[in-house]
Chains A and B, each alone.
Chain A
Amino acid sequence: MPLSLTEESYLNVSLSQRPPCRPDGRNHLQFRPIDAAAGILPTTNGSARIRLDDGGECIVGVKAEVIAVSRGSEVISVEVDCDIVGLPANSPLQNLLCATLETAIKNSLPLRLLRITNKYRYKIFVDGIILDHVSHPLTLFSMTTYLALLDTRLPRLAPDSAGRDNDDKDDIGIPQFSSDWDDADRLCQNWSPPLVQLGIIVGKNVFVDATGEEAEVSDGGLLTVWHDGRVVGLRVVKTRDSSKQVFSVSSISNAVEVLANASRDIEKALKGIITY
C-alpha cells in the first residue's frame, strides 16, 4: 500500500500517542462491522462466509472423510488449506494462515470427537478461499473457520451398525451412517474451536482489526491463539516490510492481554450467530 512520508508520519504519530487516535476514531478493541453467515454451502459438513467493511471476503467449507486407522492410533487428522486470490500457491502469507490454523485445531480437538468406531475415524478438511483482502487476512480467515466449524455436523452411525458403542470388539464392517441429516452430531456440541487473532503494535499501543494503512505504519504484529478461555499460543508476525522482529516483554504481555479480551468478545459474537 503506497503511502507518502507525510501520510505515514501523520498515521504513526496518531497511533503512537497516548491515548491513540485511529483514523476512523475507533478504540483499540473496536472491530468494524462484519457481515457473517453460516451454512451457506450445502455440499459441505459445515460452512461460513464473512465479509468485512473494507471489501475483504472469506468463505470456508469443512468436509469430513472417513478413514481407516490402526488401533490405538492417537493421530488427529486435520488438513487446512487456504487459497488467497491474487497470490501464488505456497506464498508465505498462505503458509502462515494454513499452518497456524492447522496446528491450533490439531492441538485442541479431542480425539473422541472424530471417532466413529475402533477402526474408523473422521479426517477433517478445512478449505478456505480469501476472495479479497485489504488488511491482513489472518483474523478474517480464523473467524470464518471458527464459524464454519461451529456449523459443522458429522453424521451418526445408523442405529443397527455394528461396533458402535463397543470398545473391545474387533469390528469388521464398514460403518453405515444414518441418512437423517437432522440426526447428525454437532462437532462443537461440547468443544469450541480455537480462534486466532492478529493485533498490530505501534509504540506502546496495540490495536485489533487494523486497516491496511494502520498495518502499514505499525512496528509489527502479534498473533495469539485463543482456546478454552485463554491464550495458548503466540507468534510475532510481519505486518509490513520493515516490521520489527523483536519486542520488549512488556509490549508482548500488553498485546496478549488486549488480544485475549478481543478474542473473548469475538467468540461470544460468533457463537451468537449459530443457534443450536
Chain B
Amino acid sequence: MSDADSAEPEQESDDDDERIFSLDHTETGDGDARVTGVVKSRHIVTPGELVTAESMWMRGHGTYSVGVKSYSSVAGTITRVNKLLSVAPLRGRYDPKIGDHVIGRIIDVGTRSWHVDIGAKQAAVLMLGSVNLPGGVQRRKSESDELQMRAFLKEGDLLNAEVQAVFTDGAASLHTRSLNYGKLRNGYFFTIPSSLVVRSKYHTFDLPGGVDLVLGVNGYIWLRKHTQQLGEQGVSITRLAEEAGWEIYSDENEYISPSIRENIGRYANAIKALQYCEVGVNEARVIAAYEASKEYKSPGEMIENDVKKRIAKHVLLATKG
C-alpha cells in the first residue's frame, strides 16, 4: 500500500494556479510507486502506468481504477481540469467538437439525410435541410427526395463542412450552409492522423504556388488548384439562394495545368513529411516545408525517409517562436 504523502507544500507554477504532483518511483516492499504528492501536467504515461493513488481526484477518460489507485489505460498525456484527472491519448480517432471544420466522404444516402465518414467513432449526419439547395429551391418533402438527393451528393463524394452539433452518443451533425463549404473538386485527397492537426481559426489556406489547402480538423486533407471561391466575394445570406447555382454540385473539374498538379504533389509530400516526423500541421509549417522542399527538383525525391526528416528539421527551425 502506498501512502499519500501530504507533507509536500503546494508549489505555484509559472503559468497558472497548478498544484503540481510528481510520482516518486522508489520501490517499497511490494513494488508500488510511492506518491510523494506532485504530478506534472503533460507528463506522458503508458497503459498500465500508475497515475495517482490519491482518492481526491475524479477519474476521467483514459484512466481506470483498481481500488483507490488510478492507472492510465492509454498512451498519452495527463491532463487535469480542477479535480478531474484524465489521460488524453496521443493517437485516437477524431473526436468531433462543435464548430470544427472537417472534410467528409458520403457513405450512405438516406431519406432526408446523408451519412458522412469523417474518421470519427461514428459516421456523421448531414441533414437535407443543412445544405444549400441551388436556385432558391424549397426543401422538398415529397417522395422524390431520395432520387433528388443523389443529384446533389452521392456515395463517394467529398465535401467540407462544419460540425453543427454533437449528439449525446458522440455522432456529429454537419452543415454546409455557407459558400465556403460543399462539394470538393479540382484537387487531391489524403489523410493524416487527426492528432497532428493544429486547431486554428481558419482551416482554408491560400498557399504559394497556386494551391489551396483545406486542412480538416479530422485529419482529412484536400489540396486543390486555387480558384476564386464563391464565398470569398462576401455573399450575404439573403443572396445565398440566387448566387449558389447548380455548379456547386458539379462533378466536373476545371482545367488544371501540369505545374499546378506538380505543386499539389509537392505540398502533399511536404505534409506527409511532417506527419512522418510527428510534427503538428498548420499553415506556417506547410509553407515552410514546401519552401524547404524546393531544394529537391522532383517532388518524387521527398518520399525517402531521410529527406522527410531533413525537411521536418528545417521546418521546426524556420517556424520556431
Residues of chain A at the chain B interface (Cβ within 8 Å): 2-7, 9-11, 13-14, 17, 21-27, 30, 32-33, 53
Contact = CB atoms under 8 A, between A and B. Distances in A.
Interface string B243-265: 00000000111001010011011
B305 A25 contact: no
B118 to A, nearest CB: 14
B253 A9 contact: yes
Interface residues of B, number: 35
Interface of B: 105, 107, 155-158, 183-190, 251-253, 256, 258, 261-262, 264-266, 268-269, 272, 298-305
28 contacts: A2-B156, A4-B105, A4-B156, A4-B157, A4-B184, A5-B156, A6-B158, A6-B183, A6-B252, A6-B253, A7-B188, A7-B189, A9-B253, A11-B188, A14-B261, A21-B258, A21-B261, A21-B265, A22-B265, A23-B190, A23-B264, A24-B269, A24-B272, A24-B299, A24-B300, A25-B299, A30-B300, A32-B303
A6 B254 CA distance: 10
A3 B258 CA distance: 21
Contacts of B298: 25, 27
Contact of A24 (B105, B252, B265, B305): B265
Given A2-B155, A23-B268, A33 B188 contact: no
B91 to A, nearest CB: 15
Contacts, number: 79
Contacts of B155: 2
A122 B83 CA distance: 70
Contacts of A3: 156
Choose among B107, B183, B258 the residue with the greatest number of A CB atoms under 10 Å from its CB.
Answer: B258
Given A2-B156, A30-B300, A53-B303, A25 B251 contact: no
Contact of A5 (B251, B256, B264): B251
Contacts of B156: 2-5
Contacts of A9: 251-253
A106 to B, nearest CB: 36
A156 B259 CA distance: 60
A33 B256 contact: no
Nearest to B306: A33
Contacts of B184: 4, 6
A14 B299 CA distance: 14
A23 B158 contact: no
Choose among A5, A17, A32 the residue with the greatest number of B CB atoms under 10 Å from its CB.
Answer: A5
B269 A25 contact: yes
9 A-B pairs closest in CB distance: A25-B299, A26-B300, A6-B185, A25-B300, A25-B265, A5-B251, A21-B261, A2-B156, A4-B157
A53 B304 CA distance: 10
Nearest to A32: B303
A33 to B, nearest CB: 6
Contacts of A21: 258, 261-262, 265
A190 B269 CA distance: 42
Nearest to A8: B156
A11 B85 CA distance: 47
A161 to B, nearest CB: 50
B251 A6 contact: yes
A255 B177 CA distance: 48
B187 A10 contact: yes
A17 B258 contact: yes
A24 B303 CA distance: 8
A10 B105 CA distance: 17
A32 B256 CA distance: 26
Choose among A17, A24, A27 the residue with the greatest number of B CB atoms under 10 Å from its CB.
Answer: A24
